[in-house]
Structure 1
Amino acid sequence: MSVGRSAPDFEWRDGTTVGERLRRAKGILLDFDARAPLQALAGSWDDRIDYVDVDVKNRLGLNAVLLRPDGIVAWASDGKAEEEEAAQAASRWFGAPRSD
C-alpha cells in the first residue's frame, strides 16, 4: 500500500468498514497488532485521530496504517512499526500534537 493513495476499505470481523469509521471526519490509526506505543502516539492527537486496534479480514500484509479523514494513506507499516515515522506523518497531516 502506498502513501498518498486511497486506502482499501478494510473490513472488521464484525462487518464494520473503514469507510463507515471515516464518517466521523477524523483520521484513523489502524493498529492490527495492538501495540502500546502506537496507542500512546495516537493519544497525542486524539482530538483529530481515532486509534483502532482491530483485526481485519485482510490486512494486506500490513501491521499499521494511518489514514487521513479523506481515506488517503498518510503512513503505513508492513514490518516493525516505526513510531517516529508515524509521528512525523501525524504532524504533517494533523498538525502539532495536543499539549495538555
Structure 2
Amino acid sequence: MSTPEPDPSHQISQRDLRNRSAEIMDGLERGERYAVTRNGHHIGDLVPIRRRRRAVSRAEFAAVSRGMPRLDDRKYREDMDHHVNDDLYDPYDRAYGRGEFAQDDE
C-alpha cells in the first residue's frame, strides 16, 4: 500500500521544520503531509500516523488472496529446512565460551 505524495504546497525546508515545528506538528495532527527539503533537494516526507487500524473483513481478505498462488507445503518445508538454522544453543554459552564454544586450553 503506497502513501500519497505530499502536496507540493506543503514543501518545507529543514530551516522551516526547525523554526516552525509547532505549526508543522499541528498540521500533521490535522492530517497534512509535508515534503522536507535541504538545499533545495527533497530529503524526506513527514506524514501523519494512522490513528486507527482498520480490520479487514473475511470477504475482503478472500478477494485479495484469491489471486495468490497455492502454497506447496512440501516445498515450503524444504525451503525452511535449507535456509533456517534451527540448531539450538544457549547464547550465554557462546558469550562465555562454554559448552561447544569452549576454548581448548591444551
TM-score range, shorter chain: under 0.3
* TM-score of the two chains, using structure 1 as the length reference: 0.24
Q: Quick one: higher RCO (CA 8 Å, sep 6+), 1 or 2?
A: 1
User: Which has more radius of gyration?
Assistant: 2
* TM-score of the two chains, using structure 2 as the length reference: 0.23
